[in-house]
Each structure stands twice: as structure tokens, then as C-alpha cells.
Chain A
Amino acid sequence: MAMATDVPKDGFRLSMLVYDTRYRSYTIQIVVLVLFALAVAWLLNNTVQNLEARGKEFNFGFLWQRAGYDIGQQLIPYSNDDTHFRALLVGLLNTLVVAFFGCIFATVLGVIIGVLRLSKNWLVGRLMTVYVEAFRNVPLLLWILLSYVILSETTPNPKDFRLTDEMAAAGEAPAASMMFWDSVAVTNRGTNIPSPLFERGLGSVDLGLFTVNLTLLAVIAVIAGSVWFNRRLLSGARARQESTGDRPVTWWKSLLILFAPITLLLLAMGFHLEVPTLQGFNFKGGILVAHSFTALLIALTLYTAAFIAEIVRAGIQAISRGQSEAAFALGLRPGRTMNLVILPQALRVIIPPLISQYLNLTKNTSLGIAVSYLDLRGTLGGITLNQTGRELECMLLMMLIYLSISLSISAVMNMYNNSVQLKAR
């Protein structure tokens, strides 16, 4: 009888939730989950109560009200009669355009610096070390402010470009002059560049939210078609080289395919440049690239390039010396060894950390507020938030948008990463 009681019963007792290792982990997880849910519920409840106490309701209806403010840089048509939502889109595009160019420039610069930092040339190597340490150890905000101040304080006022009658009579030249055959003017407000215009453009189609510019679409389609034909031509030539050992001459065909169609299209549509001219207070015509954009782009590029350079250096050093020695033994010169042997292998080490640098750069664009760059933070999270007093809605929406942008970049880069990874066979 005593023996029988020592054998544990198969039945479930409540104490087993704590003392039995089979159930304990479940107990802990459920308790933590309940506590977490309670904390979230408390936060939500708190928010709802406080909103109620202030007589505010949670809705996004304000997005369809008239915005009433103007935005300096707009990639899609916008006026102060448009809605807050339209202003949000303008800001979003401003964020994306600076992030897009920032990522490209930072990558190019970062790869060059990363490779040069490993240079055997003492001076070049040290210079690059100084660059990397200087840029990555000073806060980005300071670089943004610095580049903005340099751009706006060292460049001439628009009125310095003016040639008054007295100056003409005295044979003097204006204090400042335009660059590149009088087509580009750098003033203390921004850079005025020529804009492309078409006499016989294809017009545009209004799709409600966006207007699609058919002229631009036609140009993109023709360029894409040319590139595709050129690649077919080259792959044909390669196939012939591999089968017969004789490579046909392709360079003039390539040139013709790449440049003739686009030139013909531009001529047909009456392409010409509209050069900015000084009228009144500012240059009119052409495109104004404000210094806030340029400064933000320069600072983001230089700052992120320093990090990318380190990633590239680490990637290259991760490739064993045997690889480069083998390449030298085959008679490859250092440049070709780098391009054909080292870099392709280093890429798989480089890309994952590179993704997080791209994400950083994109999120850092929100620092543009320091130089009055009206990106998503400046429009939705700045003026719209302020004029409507909808802090919670604006902040949540802004977080959601930044999250979506980051996840999209991440997804695209992961796809690219998978395509360049070594395939295990």
C-alpha cells in the first residue's frame, strides 16, 4: 500500500503548473502574456481616457481638409488649396527622393573609400582613415547644419548676378556669374538648374491622386527598350564568340541602339532646356534645388559613406589571402583581382549590414527638419500636426509610413542578397 502511493499519479494537479517542468514553461509564458496584454490595455485605456478628458476624438478626417500652407519643394503639383493628405504625399516624396539619391551616392562613395582604405599607399590609406573616423564620430545633425551653413553663407545673393545700367556703362561685370555656359546659377537659396521642356509633349493623364506624365513615360520606355535590345545584341555576340571563337564587332551597333531612338524621340517632341534667368528677387524658370535638399543629401551621403566604407573593408578582409594570392599567381593585376575575385565574394558579407545602413539613412532623412527641409516629418509631423492639433494621429501615421518604407527597402535588399549569395549545391 505504501509502495503504491510513491508512484506519481497520472492525473493532473494544480501544483504541477509550478513544480512540473513539463508545464512550468507554459505557466510562465501565459503569465507573461497576460501581463503584457494588461500593460497594452492599460496604455490604450489611458490614451482613450485622456483624449476624452480633453474632448478630442481619434479620427483621420483632418487629412481631407484644406491644408492652407505652402511647401517649397514639390515633386507633384501642390498648392495651399490641396488637402493635408496631398501635403503628406508631397512630404513623403521629398523623403523618398533624398533617401534614394542618398543611398546611391553613399554606396558609391563608401565602396571607393573602403577599398582605398586598404591601399598600400600610406598617404591614401591614412587619408581615408581620417575621413572615416571624422565622419562617423561626429553627430549627423552637425554635418547637416554645417553643410547648410557653408552652402548658404558662401554663395552669392541672387541680386549679385544682376547687371545694372551703371555697371554696364562702367564696363564692370556683376559680382557673381552663372556656371556651365550660363545655365546653372548657385545662389544662397539654392541651385537653379535648367529644366527639360517639350514643345510637342505627349501631355499627361489624370489618375485622380496622381497625374501621369506621358512624355516622361515615353522617354523611360524608349531607354528601357534600347537597353534591352543592347543586352540581346551583346549576349548574341557572346554566344557567337563561345561557339566560333570569333567576336563580332558590336560597338557601333551598341552606340546606335542606345542613343539613336532616344535622340529621335527627343527631337520629335521638340526637346529644349529652359535656362533659369534672373527676374525680380530670384531666378525664374528652370528647377530650383533648394540648399536644404542639397545640404541634407551631402551630409547623409558623407556620413553614411563612412559606415559603408567600414563594412566594405570588413567584407574585403574577410576573404582569405589565399584568394588574392591565387589570382596573382594566375597573373591578374591588383585592379582586376579586386573586381573579379575579391569584391564578388565580399558582397555576401557586405550586403546584410549594408541593408541596415540604408535603413539608417532613410530614417535619418527626418533630421532635415533642422534645415527646414519639408519631408514627411516636416509636413505631416510638423505643419499639419501643428495646424490641426492631431498629435496622436499624425505620429501614428508617420510611424506607420516610416515602418512601411523601411520594411520595403529591407524586402528588396533581402531579395538582392538572396540572388548574390553563394548557392549551396
Chain B
Amino acid sequence: MKKSVFFGALAATTLVAGLSSAGTVDDIKARGELICGSNTGLTGFGTPDASGNWTGFDVDLCRAIAAAVLGDATKVKFVPTTGETRFTALQSGEVDLLVRNSTWTASRDSELALDFVAVNYYDGQGFMVKKDLGVSSAKELDGATVCIQTGTTTELNLADFFKQNNISYQPVTVADDSEAQRQYLAGACDAYTTDASGLAASRATMPDAENHVILPEIISKEPLGPVVRHGDNNWGDVVRWTYYALLIAEEKGITAANVEEVLASTTDEEVKRLLGASGDMGVKFGLDNAAFKNAIMAGGNYGEIFARNIGEGTSINLARGLNALWTQGGLQYAPPFR
């Protein structure tokens, strides 16, 4: 008798445990907070300031998603993850999604059972060296000591690049960007390699930024984007279309400041659908109908987020390049919102 009660309880807990992970959107609404896996600190992309407020390109996407799901861009908890811990944190349900320059690869899709729902930054791996080293190409780095973040695709690309060019190197593996910077600045490695955007961000925080050069070679494709777990397609759709909403907003000239104005004056049906003035697109995603309007109001459209955090004129000073809209020769392209 007692045993059967025990087994019953056992079965019930397993069932509940299974059910609770069924709908991430419902979990977030019940919790009243989005948990976003972020960087441990990469200037421009995701870093806490002195008073603990997170800012950055990736952080703003998290805020837009929180605004879409909860209607409040401030209800985000940022959990710093390293290259080593990020996917475990996502798989175990510790975070709802990862937005921390993670590269989309085939094995991460298949073997790690993750879904890369969009690419918010098209990047490639580069090298940074000190100017007085007199190196102008990565192919001249034969015999160099190279700092590399562990658990990343860049670690594997580095090995491949040096093998293909038949030159040797000595790896120094580090856990995160700040340790890499410390080792690199202390001279423990000749070169630091990571995504070119990450290098630009690191260089921006260095006291003698002008003494460091990023070499011209880009040795890999690094499509960086938000990641969710396999199996919850609705949640994946919400993240994907919140991101696309920001792209469409840029394409249509909708900014954080002029949303209400556009909404009042527009005759464009797609804009009306996007802002929730006609149709029930938001409800179809299991959200409020004004969800995507809220997302745009949270931090502006994609272009605004880019310009504010990492664009030309900021300390990181990245050109739009591949990340320009498709209408301007870039790769950022959103499917039609209908």
C-alpha cells in the first residue's frame, strides 16, 4: 500500500517535471521575468556597468524579447555564462535563451540539440596583435603563442587554419574575454584570436587601443545569434520573430521614438500587422497583440541597437558591413510579416 503511494508520487513528480518544461513562454509569464544567458562581459555586446545594469547589442535583443513577452523591457535577469558553461546552462533550463555571440554550427544544432533561431550578427574569426610585433598577416604568425577562448568554435578554426597553412603555434587556453585580454596585454601570448567583433570590443577597452592591430585575415564564418533549446517550437518562433520585427522596423523606418506616430499615420498593411493595429499576429504567437510594438519601443529597431552599442562613432566602431539590411547590400533579411 505504502509502496504504491510512493510509486504514485514518483510518477506524479516525473509527470510534473515533464510538463513544466512544455511551454517556455508560459513559464516566463508565470515567473514574470525572462532569464537571458549573456556574456560574462564583452563591451558593446553585453556587459554590466558599475551599478549592475546590463547594456549592449545582445542585451538589447534580450530586452526586446522581454518587452514582447511580458510587456516590460526591464524584466530580464541576465545570467553570465562562459564559452564553457553556456550550452549546459541552456540545456538544463537555467536560462530561457542564450544571446551571447554564439556561433551557429551543424553539430550544435544536431548533437547539442539546440536551435539557432536567427543570426543577429554575421561575423568571422580574426587575430589581434600588438603593432610593434611588425606582423601584417596572420600567415606570418608561425611559432607564435596564441590566446584562445576554450569551448568555442574559434578553438577548432584556429587549429585548422594553422594546419592548412602549414605553420605552428602554441595555444594558451583561457576561459573568457577578460582573462584573454589580461594574458595578451601581459605579453603571455603574441596574438589573441576570437570573432572580429569581439576583438574590436576588446580593443576598445584597452588603455592603449592604438597600439593594437586586427589582422586582415578572417579565417572563418561566425554567424552569431540567439539560441534556444530543441523541442519548444513556439518559444523559438517568438524569439525569431521578435528579432525579425526589429529588422522589419528598420526596413520600414520605424524607430523607438516614432512608433506611435507611424501607427497613427501609416497606410502600410504590414506595418499595421507588425504593430498590432490590424490582425492578430501577436496572439497567434501566444503573446499580446502589441507584443512586437513593445519590442520595438524597448530599444529601437535593429539599426538603432547596432548604432547605439557597436556602430561607427562608438568606441567599438564597427561598420555595418555584412550586417546591413538586404536593401543596402547586407545579409540582414526578414521574411514577410503576414
Contacts and interface: CB of A to CB of B under 8 A. Distances in A.
The judgment on whether A and B are partners is yes
A252 interface: no
Contacts of A280: 142-144
B13 to A, nearest CB: 9
A378 B170 CA distance: 16
Given A46-B14, A291-B188, A382-B84, 7 more contacts: A38-B6, A49-B14, A54-B113, A69-B159, A188-B187, A386-B83, A389-B87
B96 to A, nearest CB: 16
Mostly, the B contact residues are: mixed
24 contacts: A38-B6, A42-B10, A45-B14, A53-B231, A54-B229, A54-B230, A56-B113, A68-B160, A70-B158, A71-B171, A72-B172, A81-B163, A152-B186, A189-B170, A280-B142, A282-B170, A284-B143, A372-B172, A382-B84, A383-B150, A386-B151, A387-B155, A389-B87, A391-B88
Contact of B145 (A53, A189, A387): A189
B112 interface: yes
A273 B187 CA distance: 29
Interface string A212-227: 0000000000000000
Given A72-B170, A152-B188, A388 B111 contact: yes
A68 B156 contact: yes
Interface centre among A55, A281, A288 (most CB of B within 10 A): A281
Nearest to A73: B170
Contacts of A281: 133, 141-145, 190
A295 to B, nearest CB: 12
B137 interface: no
A382 B85 CA distance: 10
Contacts of B331: none
Contacts of A71: 171
A53 B18 contact: yes
Contacts of A284: 143
Interface in B132-154: 133, 141-145, 150-151
Nearest to A41: B10
Contacts of B91: 54
Interface string B7-46: 0001000100010010000000000000000000000000
Interface of B: 6, 10, 14, 18, 21, 83-84, 87-88, 91, 108, 111-113, 133, 141-145, 150-151, 155-156, 158-160, 163, 169-174, 183, 186-190, 229-231
A387 B173 CA distance: 14
Contacts of B88: 391
Given A69-B156, A69-B159, A284-B143, A372 B174 contact: yes
Contacts of B111: 388-389
A188 B172 contact: no
Nearest to A372: B173
A157 interface: yes
A367 B169 CA distance: 25
Contacts of A42: 10
A182 interface: no
A25 interface: no
Interface centre among B21, B143, B156, B187 (most CB of A within 10 A): B187
Contacts of B170: 72, 189, 282, 288
Interface string A34-49: 0000100010011001
B4 to A, nearest CB: 13
Interface centre among B144, B145, B169 (most CB of A within 10 A): B145
Contacts of B113: 54-56
